[in-house]
Structure 1
Amino acid sequence: MTTASTARVGLWLIGARGSVATTTIAGRAALAAGLTPPTGMVTALPPFADSALPDLDHLVVGGHDVVDIPVPKRAEQLVAAGVLPHGLPAAIAAELAAADAEIRHPGADPAADIADFTRRHDLERTVVVNVASTETDPAISTGYAAAAIAAGCSYVNFTPATGMRGPGLAERALAAGLPHAGRDGKTGQTLLRAALAPMFAQRALDVRSWSGTNLLGGGDGAALADPAAAAAKNAGKERVLADTLGDLPEGTVHIDNVPALGDWKTAWDHVAFDGFLGARMVLQTIWQGCDSALAAPLVLDLARLVARAHATGMSGPVPGLGFFFKDPDTGPAALGEQYEELLTLAQTLRARP
């Protein structure tokens, strides 16, 4: 039987001073200190208990960002927005400051920053996770993926950016013995779609149209106001329906920037479908939530799983991680089937030294 790993592992965040990254940093510190339960963390469930995943108190955090607002200040802003609980930044002030001290402005050689971080902290390995706002220039995300490979690190793309799908990068990662996972974290509306679409398919109900609207603010809302950025995001939402239902039903997805919402979002779906004898029916759903609080535990899950996969010698796309993504590298589209594959991965990691 394996237990949790005591190896020191690096978590290098691209977009390290953003809302998702700051919530991840604060959440890791709060969990390690026993200040909060692991709500929303899949790897805290019993099937993963003996998979030798790195302990959260052995994760060392650093990253890249072009933003100058320090992580402690960003945490205070998230308290004011209702994302983080009152009093938490003060309780974990040292951890927030330590993470902020390891954040670098991206320069000419980001791989050198990552390698230096790994070396200075005597880490067994580092996982690079992209949680930056959606970018329309693919060279930015592919550059970070290439930097992860050059630094000998595994890579997770939690955004809809190109990342490891840039020309030749997946092949380079495989040749270097590096695992990776992506892309675009599945946190809200698409998570619900992935759960509901199989219901229609399995009950032989004919979906005539499926439309949706997203209202969100914050950095993502501003970034997704760009039609090109929104198109990349919507492609993942549509892929879930097409892969599960067999083809893409009529309908569109809109993403609207509402700055007043800040780090909160509302997603609405309208599904028109036919029942027996052509009876016309409609399902409507409303999802309201905080994207940072939904995403942060998944970032920690992925860092732990990919770090462990790297330790066991896995390379290339890690099977079983499609559960976390809108546009996964491998595996089925239906949420239930994805979860079964994830449990298989947990068994595989449990069985390996």
Structure 2
Amino acid sequence: MSAPAVRTGVWFIGARGSVATTATAGCAAVAAGLHPAAGMVTETPPFADSGLPALTSLVFGGHDTTGCPLPKRAEALAAGGVLPHGLPSAVHAELAAADTGIRPGGPLPGDSRGDEELIAAFAADLTDFTHRNELARTVVINVASTEPLPDPGEQRLPASSLYAAAALRAGCPYVNFTPSTGLRTPALQDTVADCGLPHAGRDGKTGQTLLRSVLAPMFVQRALPVRAWSGTNLLGGGDGAALADPGAAAAKNAGKERVLADTLGTAPEGEVHIDDVPALGDWKTAWDHIAFDGFLGARMVLQTTWQGCDSALAAPLVLDLARLVARAHERGLSGPLPQLGFYFKDPDGGPAALFEQYQELLAFAGTLRGDR
């Protein structure tokens, strides 16, 4: 008899949200050969022999505070043009199977449990999922809506940190694809240092900041001083509603501004504004206005417009990260993974420019292969 196939768990925080639903449906579609793996860097030749878990071996579950089943959520995304027409029906079985692995998140209003009780409950859900599905490991990925930064002196951990602490307690590698606090709180500093697990974050780089990380080095390398860099985001859906909160928007913008400051050496004038436009649904428009000086002080301007679907941009990156971090755990790596800065606005160290980040990622593929 052949040995049973090794399977890897992917546990989403925000498992019924747009990004997680798109990733779950997309994984099933690509694995079945229904669609190409557009946007998945781990499906390109440099990663072919890095030992990454196969898409067919991924098992999905997660935490969420909403009760809409994944198949219904996928149908709504298809109606909005996020998923291809007919895809929810084609991968209904996979979506339904993943939905059975979703557990109630929290804390919800009226929940009287303290932080320790919540962490223990979330960790128990993870352990049960891993054991029940006979998984080699489970990677926890936060793709929930952005939460505001905690108030100074706040005694309770934010929800993102409760989930992150539960992941470490359950022995699960962790990825924070959001700007929320996650592991980056002093309360978890010792836990993170002692956990012996790989982790990566923070805040996925999908659109406007992706473009900034390409353009900013151009100005530096061509010795063109940037005088101001302003931006506007128009978006709807769950992200638009969440980022209408000034605290959540501030957390989101911090990562966008960091890319410019790290690359240019100083933060230029200008701000990023985020406007909630519910009619846009899961689609967004990002506009940048860049004022810079040319030879002899000639004043010039570059404007860019990015229109896209955040869920479709984020989902392949999330699947990449699940595979890369799972393999890193299999290889015995631990601690922060700055080599994955290619995927984040606010990474765990490393270069800020996308080209250099990509070179780091390719080198990491070699590490996962066992080249060194």
DSSP-derived class of the 1:63 partner: strand
- 1:70 aligns to what? 69
Aligned alpha-carbon RMSD (Å): 1.4
* Matched AA of 2:265: G
- 2:332 aligns to what? 313
Deviation at 1:137, TM superposition (A): 6.0
Matched, 1:129 2:128: no
- 1:282 aligns to what? 301
- 2:213 aligns to what? 194
* Matched AA of 2:333: M
Partner deviation per Cα, 1:183-224 (whole Å, 9 max, x = no partner): 000000000000100000000000000000000000000000
- 2:109 aligns to what? none
- 1:14 aligns to what? 13
CA contact (8 A) 1:129 1:158 kept: yes
* Matched AA of 1:132: A
Gap change, CA 1:129 and 1:247, over 3 Å in 2? same
Deviation at 1:51, TM superposition (A): 0.3
Partner deviation per Cα, 1:58-93 (whole Å, 9 max, x = no partner): 000000000111100000000010010011111111
Deviation at 1:177, TM superposition (A): 1.4
* Matched AA of 2:176: N
DSSP-derived class of the 2:338 partner: coil
Equivalent positions of 1:215-294 (< 5 A) are 215-294=234-313
Deviation at 1:6, TM superposition (A): 5.2
* Matched AA of 1:116: D
Deviation at 1:166, TM superposition (A): 1.5
DSSP-derived class of the 2:288 partner: strand
- 2:122 aligns to what? 110
* Matched AA of 1:105: P
Equivalent positions of 1:151-170 (< 5 A) are 151-170=170-189
CA contact (8 A) 2:177 2:201 kept: yes
DSSP-derived class of the 1:164 partner: coil
CA distance in 2, matches of 1:170, 1:310: 20
Matched, 1:144 2:163: yes
CA distance in 1, matches of 2:316, 2:14: 16
Deviation at 1:351, TM superposition (A): 1.3
CA distance in 2, matches of 1:111, 1:238: 34
Equivalent positions of 1:45-60 (< 5 A) are 45-60=44-59
- 1:79 aligns to what? 78
CA distance in 2, matches of 1:65, 1:204: 48
Partner deviation per Cα, 1:97-156 (whole Å, 9 max, x = no partner): 000111000263101001100000110100000000011265111101100001000000
Deviation at 1:172, TM superposition (A): 2.1
* Matched AA of 1:119: H
CA contact (8 A) 1:145 1:169 kept: no
CA distance in 2, matches of 1:88, 1:209: 44
CA contact (8 A) 1:174 1:315 kept: no
CA distance in 2, matches of 1:143, 1:288: 34
* Matched AA of 1:226: D
- 1:328 aligns to what? 347
CA distance in 2, matches of 1:168, 1:351: 35
Bigger CA drift: 308-317 or 174-183?
174-183
DSSP-derived class of the 2:368 partner: helix
TM-score, with normalisation over the residues of structure 2?
0.92
CA distance in 2, matches of 1:87, 1:169: 44
Equivalent positions of 1:173-212 (< 5 A) are 173-212=192-231
CA distance in 1, matches of 2:189, 2:141: 16
DSSP-derived class of the 2:76 partner: helix
Deviation at 1:170, TM superposition (A): 4.9
Deviation at 1:31, TM superposition (A): 1.1
Deviation at 1:323, TM superposition (A): 0.4
* Matched AA of 1:186: K
DSSP-derived class of the 1:163 partner: coil
CA contact (8 A) 1:312 1:352 kept: no
Deviation at 1:319, TM superposition (A): 3.1
**Deviating 4+ runs (over 3 angstroms):** none
In percent, how many aligned pairs have the same letter? 74
* Matched AA of 2:13: I
CA distance in 2, matches of 1:183, 1:221: 19
* Matched AA of 2:135: L
Partner deviation per Cα, 1:289-327 (whole Å, 9 max, x = no partner): 000000000000000000000000100111310000000
CA contact (8 A) 1:132 1:159 kept: yes
Matched, 1:24 2:43: no
DSSP-derived class of the 1:281 partner: strand
DSSP-derived class of the 2:232 partner: strand
